[in-house]
Amino acid sequence: PEIASLPIKIIKNNHWHEGISSSLRCGISYLQKQDFPPDGVVFLTCDQPFVSDELLEQLIDAYYSTNKPIIASKYGDTLGIPALFSHTFFPALMKLQGDRGAKKIINKYPDLVYVIDFPQGNIDLDTLENYQHFIKGLPDHKLSTS
């Protein structure tokens, strides 16, 4: 009900059991069928609590100002999501298989990647216990780090 009035299209991934790559393929497939496919796509997950609209705007601004086809977030020793991919990478994204995301593509083309610092990106909340500790402001040595 909270999003019913917003211009949001929910796409059901009937192949979710094939892993993360199936969700990426499902989304890209939907976008490619549109009358006006987008220039690019931003991938993110719902378990990184510090993702903000400012971070997403940084990704988009960097895409248009750097002419790099991949804009990735950096946290710890990782380059990953949230990440923006140009439409030129849609075919490569459609070839991903299994429970692996687009990090494989980011790592394969380092010269085509522009990096946005996102130091809090390594915090993701995978369990109810993680979430409860997080909202109470308690340290949680079990918080997942990507």
What residue spans define the domains of the chain?
16-120
Q: What is the pLDDT of residue 135?
A: 85
Separation of first and last alpha carbons in the chain: 32
- Range 16-120 classified under CATH 3.50.50.60: no
Q: What is the pLDDT of residue 138?
A: 61
Q: What is the pLDDT of residue 137?
A: 79
Q: What is the pLDDT of residue 1?
A: 86
Helices (H) and strands (E) in the chain, counts: 5, 6
Q: What is the pLDDT of residue 90?
A: 97
Amino acid at 107: N
Quick one: tokens of 74? 């950096």
Amino acid at 25: R
Report field, pTM of the whole predicted structure over 0.85: yes
Q: What is the biggest distance separating any 2 CA atoms in the chain, rounded to whole angstroms?
A: 48
pLDDT block averages, 10 residues each, the chain of length 146:
89 94 95 93 92 96 97 94 97 92 93 96 88 77 49
